[in-house]
């Protein structure tokens, strides 16, 4: 009983012993889609549900409740989830008591369709309402439709210890902030995840220490825009200049937080995602350069290589500004791996503007990129202001050109590691061959090498002998 109350410190869920006996036999199956933040949120959901006796299962057949943690970023992501819901409803015809719920961004965007119009699911819960899940589950079990999509100005789930799902026991996510205030015109996230708020640094450090004690060797600090992390005692994001003297005194920005997490232990690698070109400071780069255990890798989406398109996207920077940030990275952290996100065929994009995207890629030569066709999202600023006027065939052609160029650059970047030795944190067996181990080097490139006596969680020096665009292949270097 103590444990259950303790894990729900907000006191929102109080159970009687008899309820616990009944609930403890229950199982929940959670499937996550989309960004790393969603995968991290599912671990918070698992923790909240474990507090009321739900064990997570990987076997959908034995689940009493199934949750899909969903993504709305592109139309295709939503279609995939809708398809999955119809498949899951077949389980319901076998087990009438099965509860099916939608969590995350689609819950926020499509509550009415999912619950009322199409009656596809029993529970709909938005990203800031997971603490309410135990109540919503009991409502659903009583046959009532349950919904909570309230967005919060405060919620960071800072006090909840995530239950690690599908974990390799080596690497874990730590969410450091929620929401986004940026309002990029193409993006649905500010509508589905609400306003930006930062999590108390002490709770972040506690989580990192706890992971280290459990044997984890790497943490990735997560946020939609980690560079604008600013703790000032709680609540919505504020500009540093608008803080009171008291708030300034206790404030912690991202550069400071990164240093604090790196100090937890030199044996704990630190990564972070996602950076924003308009907010990424030299201070962050200097902190990265000064700690060996902060990985030399930055994911810095550029979206377009043309300043006019960037303006229409409301990204808050120009092509020149982006390239200046790249110069700063290369100067302060010469060996840094850089990856990006890019969108092909945004509203009004001309051939010349698309060529600017290609030329920016040529200038930077990213090690990796997530590449997308523009997908118009309902209610976004772009949908209200601009026409989605680039024909599908043109979007496709532009995307293909971007992908082809990126393949060339990924290969180029991989080749830079040939005949060099990298430190690799082993994460598990190689997917292709059980006699090989797989891990990542500091620059986030996958490295595989023969297993010998090495094990997941070990740091191994690997001499790189061969490579593909995405993988380095080598041999462990014996160390005395
Ligand atoms: N269409 C295509 N790509 C998008 N992204 C965000 N919104 C859209 C959209 N409407 C991409 C951006 C962002 C990444 C997470 O998804 O590149 O950085
Ligand atoms: Fe979306 Fe822009 Fe916020 Fe990223 S920074 S989540 S693209 S609004």
Q: Is 187 in the pocket of ligand 1 (CB under 6 A)?
A: yes
Q: Which residues, other chains included, contact 460 with Cβ-Cβ below 8 Å and sequence gap of 6+?
A: 423, 424, 426, 437, 439, 449, 454, 476
Ligand having the closest approach to the CA of 342? 1
Ligand having the closest approach to the CA of 388? 1
Tokens encoding 56:
């997570």
Tokens encoding 463:
């001499």
Alpha carbon distance, N-terminus to C-terminus of the chain: 51
Pick from 380, 391, 384, 283: which is nearest to 328 by CA? 283
- Evaluate whether the domain defined by 167-295 bears CATH number 1.10.3720.10: no
Q: Which of 189, 227, 277 to mutate to test the pocket of ligand 2 (most atoms within 8 A of CB)?
A: 189
- CATH 3.40.50.2300 positions along the chain are 3-148
Q: Whose CA is nearest to atom 2 of ligand 1?
A: 374
Q: Using an 8 Å Cβ cutoff, are 247 and 233 in contact? A: yes
Q: Is 88 in the pocket of ligand 1 (CB under 6 A)?
A: no
Per-residue model confidence (pLDDT) at position 3: 30
Q: Using an 8 Å Cβ cutoff, are 49 and 78 in contact? A: no
Per-residue pLDDT tens digits for 384-422: 999 999 999 999 999 999 999 999 999 999 999 999 999
Q: Which residues of 274-306 are buried (b: 16+ CB within 10 A; e: fewer)?
A: bbbbbbbeeebbebbbebebbbbbbbbbbbbbb
Per-residue model confidence (pLDDT) at position 6: 30
- CATH 2.40.50 positions along the chain are 421-476
- CATH 3.30.750.210 positions along the chain are 167-295
Q: Is 74 in the pocket of ligand 1 (CB under 6 A)?
A: yes
Per-residue model confidence (pLDDT) at position 14: 35
| Calpha distance 194→302 (Å, rounded) | 22
Q: Whose CA is nearest to atom 2 of ligand 2?
A: 184
Q: Is residue 259 scored above 60 in pLDDT?
A: yes
Q: What phi and psi, each to the nearest 5 degrees, are found at residue 177?
A: -160, 165
Mean pLDDT, residues 129-136: 96
Distances (CA, A) of 67 to 230, 284, 365, 396: 32, 37, 39, 33
Q: Is 191 in the pocket of ligand 1 (CB under 6 A)?
A: no
Nearest atom in ligand 1 to 382's CA: 10
CA of 27 to the centre of ligand 1 (A): 34
Res. 235 pLDDT band, cuts 50 70 90: confident
Tokens encoding 255:
């550069």
- Evaluate whether the domain defined by 421-476 bears CATH number 2.70.98: no
Mean pLDDT score across all residues of the chain: 92
Res. 179 pLDDT band, cuts 50 70 90: very high
CA of 181 to the centre of ligand 2 (A): 8
Mean pLDDT, residues 417-434: 96
Q: What's the CATH architecture for 301-314+328-415?
A: 2-Layer Sandwich (3.30)
Q: Using an 8 Å Cβ cutoff, are 464 and 473 in contact? A: yes
Per-residue model confidence (pLDDT) at position 96: 80
Q: Which of 197, 224, 340 to mutate to test the pocket of ligand 2 (most atoms within 8 A of CB)?
A: 224
Q: In sequence order, what DSSP letters do the residues of 199-263 get, joined into one string?
A: PPHHHHHHHHHHHHHTT--EEEEE-TTGGG-EESSSSB---GGGS-HHHHHH-EEHHHHHHHHHH
Q: Is residue 475 scored above 80 in pLDDT?
A: yes
Share of the chain above pLDDT 70, in %: 95
Ligand having the closest approach to the CA of 180? 2
- CATH 3.30.750.200 positions along the chain are 301-314+328-415
Residue 303 DSSP one-character state: B
Ligand having the closest approach to the CA of 277? 2
CA of 185 to the centre of ligand 2 (A): 9
Q: Which of 372, 374, 382, 403 to mutate to test the pocket of ligand 1 (most atoms within 8 A of CB)?
A: 372
Per-residue model confidence (pLDDT) at position 24: 56
Distances (CA, A) of 421 to 28, 441, 447, 462: 44, 10, 11, 5
Res. 21 pLDDT band, cuts 50 70 90: very low
Q: Is residue 465 scored above 90 in pLDDT?
A: yes
Q: Whose CA is nearest to atom 12 of ligand 1?
A: 341
Per-residue model confidence (pLDDT) at position 13: 33
Per-residue model confidence (pLDDT) at position 480: 60
Q: Is 254 in the pocket of ligand 1 (CB under 6 A)?
A: no
Burial level of 215, CB count in 10 A (0-12/13-18/19+)? exposed
CA of 90 to the centre of ligand 1 (A): 32
Q: Which residues of 61-94 are buried (b: 16+ CB within 10 A; e: fewer)?
A: eebbbbbbbbbbbbeebbebbbeebeebeeeeee
- Evaluate whether the domain defined by 3-148 bears CATH number 3.40.50.2300: yes
Strand 197-198 with 177-178, pairing:
antiparallel
Res. 82 pLDDT band, cuts 50 70 90: very high
User: Which of 41-50, 110-119, 137-146, 389-398 has the weakest average pLDDT?
Assistant: 110-119
Q: Is residue 427 scored above 50 in pLDDT?
A: yes
Q: Using an 8 Å Cβ cutoff, are 174 and 204 in contact? A: yes
Q: Which residues, other chains included, contact 116 with Cβ-Cβ below 8 Å and sequence gap of 6+?
A: 145
Burial level of 431, CB count in 10 A (0-12/13-18/19+)? exposed
H-state helical runs in 333-415: 351-364, 381-385, 392-415
Q: Using an 8 Å Cβ cutoff, are 51 and 57 in contact? A: no
Per-residue model confidence (pLDDT) at position 23: 46
Nearest atom in ligand 1 to 376's CA: 10
């Amino acid at each position: 009983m103590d444990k259950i109350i303790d894990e729900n410190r907000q006191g929102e869920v109080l159970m009687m012993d008899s309820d616990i006996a009944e609930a403890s036999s229950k199982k929940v199956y959670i499937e996550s889609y989309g960004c790393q933040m969603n995968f991290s949120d599912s671990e918070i959901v698992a923790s909240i549900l474990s507090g009321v006796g739900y064990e997570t299962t990987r076997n959908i057949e034995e689940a009493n409740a199934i949750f899909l943690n969903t993504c709305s970023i592109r139309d295709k992501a939503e279609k995939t989830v809708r398809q999955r819901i119809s498949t899951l409803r077949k389980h319901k015809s076998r087990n009438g008591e099965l509860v099916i719920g939608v969590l995350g961004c689609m819950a926020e965007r499509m509550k009415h369709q999912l619950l009322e119009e199409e009656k596809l699911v029993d529970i709909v819960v938005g990203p800031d309402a997971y603490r309410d899940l135990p109540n919503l589950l009991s409502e659903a079990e009583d046959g009532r439709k349950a919904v909570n999509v309230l967005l919060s100005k405060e919620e960071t789930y800072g006090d909840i210890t995530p239950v690690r799902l599908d974990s390799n026991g080596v690497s874990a996510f730590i969410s450091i902030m929620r929401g986004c205030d940026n309002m990029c015109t193409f993006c649905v996230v500010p509508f589905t995840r609400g306003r930006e708020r930062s999590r108390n640094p002490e709770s972040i450090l506690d989580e990192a220490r706890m992971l280290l004690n459990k044997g984890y060797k790497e943490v990735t600090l997560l946020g939609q825009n980690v560079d604008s992390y600013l703790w000032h005692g709680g609540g919505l994001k504020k500009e540093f200049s608008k803080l009171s003297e008291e708030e300034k005194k206790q404030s912690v920005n991202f550069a400071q937080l990164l240093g604090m997490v790196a100090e937890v232990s030199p044996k704990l690698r630190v990564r972070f995602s996602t950076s924003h070109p308009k907010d990424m400071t030299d201070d962050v780069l200097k902190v990265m350069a000064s700690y060996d255990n902060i990985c030399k890798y930055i994911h810095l989406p550029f979206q377009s290589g043309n300043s006019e398109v960037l303006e229409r996207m409301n990204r808050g920077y120009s092509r020149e500004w982006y390239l200046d940030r790249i110069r700063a990275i290369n100067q302060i952290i010469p060996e840094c791996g850089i990856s990006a996100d890019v969108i092909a065929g945004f509203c009004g994009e001309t051939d010349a503007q698309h060529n600017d995207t290609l030329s920016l890629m040529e200038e930077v030569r990213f090690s990796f990129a997530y590449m997308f066709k523009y997908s118009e999202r309902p209610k976004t600023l772009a949908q209200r202001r601009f026409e989605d006027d680039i024909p599908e065939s043109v979007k496709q052609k532009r995307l293909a050109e971007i992908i082809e160029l990126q393949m060339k650059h990924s290969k180029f970047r991989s080749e830079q590691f040939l005949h060099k030795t990298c430190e690799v944190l082993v994460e598990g067996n190689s997917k292709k061959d059980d006699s090989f181990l797989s891990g990542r080097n500091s620059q986030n490139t996958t490295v595989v090498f023969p297993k010998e006596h090495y094990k997941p969680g070990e740091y191994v020096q690997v001499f790189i002998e061969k490579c593909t665009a995405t993988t380095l292949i080598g041999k462990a270097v014996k160390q005395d």
